[in-house]
Structure 1
Amino acid sequence: MTPARPTVLLTGSTGVIGASLLPALAVHHDVTALVHRRRPEGATTCLQADLTVDGLGLDTGRRRELAAGIDAVVHCGGLTDFAPRDHAAFDTVNAEGTRRILELADDARVPVVLLSSASAAFEVTGDDLAARSMRAYGRSKRRAEELATHCGQPVAVVRTALLFAALRAATPPRHQFPHALFTVMLRARPGGLPVRPDHWTDILPMETLVDYVTALTGALIDGDTTAPGLHWVTAGPARLTAADLERACIEFLDEAGRPARGPLLADPTTPQPRTRGMARVAQLGFLPPDQPDMPSHLSRLLPSQVTRADVLRALAHNVRRCAPWAP
């Protein structure tokens, strides 16, 4: 008799991370996708619910049935908009939504993988719209992590860096920071990005995150006592500089017969019109060279740490797919 496969409850299954994670989890698990509007392909079961409503919007019987039929929760659902109309929405979805998922996990007595963000560890300064938005996002993720410490079940918190789109993704997520930034840079406006070449950002291949979260989910289901706790899933020492991004964009522009008319980066101290939009978000997303690498715990569950060559390959692939002149 074939043993039953564990069932994983996945939130955010149609989001940037969830859409890549679902098929990976489905290899060894049945996946129940908690959905709000769109329904993903590949899930064993889809259940409509709402992170912003107590009880997830489920009646007592359906909630009890859901809790009885799962072996773990992977919580990817959240709000990542650059500038929502109401910054309180970050707390409503990312923090209070997490509280409701943790309550379900307590009822079901199952472990949780909580997808957080490296933003939870940093406090962005500034009073412009971009800074306020990023600060509200980071605080909502930090509060979600704090709520996880009060859960009665094992919780593994995954702080991930920025992410490249998966190599097999149908289209790049243009609303996500790296890909919106590449699209802006490929417009090839000289000096359009006021960031120093040696400032850096941490962007991880999506496949690496998916492999890690899949392994972590299996470890929690198997009762691995070392699995709960904080996991930094980042590029670490394989971080990229602004010069790396500029070089990849210029090389692709040359290849495409649309050479840049000059450097794409500009000295941020040079007087210029007010920096706003993606240029301002980019300034906030890069760190100075004396800032230490982000921690990286990939070797806890994967054979090796991601290399700079891995990250550069993902960069070149993603830049090619963000050409603003493409259909």
Structure 2
Amino acid sequence: MTAARPTVLLTGSTGVIGANLLPALAARHDVTALVHRRRPEGATACLQADLSIDGLGLSPRQRSELAAGIDVIVHCGAVTDFAPRDPTAFTNVNADGTRRILELAEEARVPVVLLSSAAAAFEVPGDDLAARSMRAYGRSKRRAEELAAHCSQPVAIVRTALLFAARNAPTPPRHQFPHALFTALLQARPGALPVQPDHWTDILPMETLVDYVTALTEAQLRGDTTAPGLHWVTAGPARLTAADLERACLDFLDESDRPVDGPLLADPTAPQSRARGMARVAQLGFLPPEQPDMPCDLNRLLPTQPTRTDVLQALAHNVRRCAPWEA
């Protein structure tokens, strides 16, 4: 089906990424949201389905009508909680759920934009719960990419790094890293994060990801032969160090008359600096300075990409919105 106003099938429309993508896509296209429980505002239509069930939990008639009425699929639906209640959720939703979406794409004969993660490229070390969960998440995303490589329809895979909340978001997603980390650091406990100052992480403004995925969806719709394949959507050389995060939090604490008696970072090799909970998840997300920047493909579809100054400004803005004393 190709009409003057194409129809995008969007999964994960109530998630952190999908909720930001929906209005951007709806500004240009009709959007059918494939939903599990909550129904988003702004979609042209909603259809209840389940990524964890073969056939997506749709009747043959529903599936046939859906396949006949879409022009492209943007697949954002995923389990991103590093401590899911169901340990099989990563495989059932992130990997097998992607397989089910790809099967629908083949039936509908439409291209796909698949939201993956930079975690697919890394194997997190460690045998604690946080490391095992992050490893399982990364492997589920890697498996989804492998399935996409065998799809008969064009699939564009977006490997994105961590994300700041959009500036116009009503509240930051406090349950999501990095905002949970900012909230924890703003509790002003010295040594709360056992990470070396020069270790780094990649965090990209949400608006940049939305702009890129929107442009990539357009490219898939018009049959651009350069669109399928792997796209790294990251901050790249504008990466942030642990010292950058510490400085932003300390500056805000000083401005708020809540000075800290000591640094927020701690030596991770010190016996008393064993990280737990969010601190451990954060610790695993930092890379040593000798590790090269993540690849960055933003210039493939966007005229500009964020500079380090842009990313530092997004960091300061997000930190200010994570103040635990305002919760």
Q: TM-score if structure 2 supplies the norm length?
A: 0.98
Match of 1:121 in 2: 121
Q: What percentage of aligned pairs have identical amino acids? A: 82
1:134-177: CA deviation from partner (whole Å, max 9, x where unpaired): 00000000000000011110000000000001111111111111
Separation in 2, partners of 1:320, 1:79 = 27
Q: What amino acid does structure 1 have at the position aligned with 2:314?
A: A
The SS at the match of 1:34 is strand
The SS at the match of 2:116 is strand
Separation in 2, partners of 1:291, 1:252 = 29
Match of 2:312 in 1: 312
**Matched ranges for 1:201-216 at <5 A:** 201-216=201-216
Match of 2:150 in 1: 150
Larger mean CA deviation between 97-106 and 254-263 belongs to: 254-263
Separation in 1, partners of 2:271, 2:173 = 33
**Matched ranges for 1:1-327 at <5 A:** 4-272=4-272, 274-327=274-327
Any unmatched runs of 5+ in structure 2?
A: none
Larger mean CA deviation between 264-273 and 25-34 belongs to: 264-273
Size of the aligned set, in residue pairs, is 325
Any unmatched runs of 5+ in structure 1?
A: none
| Structure 1 residue 87: Cα displacement | 2.6
Separation in 2, partners of 1:45, 1:85 = 30
1:83-136: CA deviation from partner (whole Å, max 9, x where unpaired): 113332101010000000000000000000000000000000110000000000
Show structure 1 runs of 4+ deviating over 6 A.
Answer: none
| Structure 1 residue 290: Cα displacement | 0.2
Separation in 2, partners of 1:188, 1:214 = 39
| Structure 1 residue 13: Cα displacement | 0.2
Q: CA RMSD in A?
A: 0.8
Q: What amino acid does structure 2 have at the position aligned with 1:307?
A: T
Q: What amino acid does structure 1 have at the position aligned with 2:243?
A: A
Q: TM-score if structure 1 supplies the norm length?
A: 0.98
Q: What amino acid does structure 2 have at the position aligned with 1:159?
A: R
Separation in 1, partners of 2:273, 2:41 = 46
Measured at CA, do residues 283 and 178 of structure 1 come closer, stay the same or move farther in structure 2, by a change above 3 Å? same
Separation in 2, partners of 1:112, 1:153 = 7
Larger mean CA deviation between 252-261 and 116-125 belongs to: 252-261
| Structure 1 residue 37: Cα displacement | 0.4
| Structure 1 residue 273: Cα displacement | 5.8
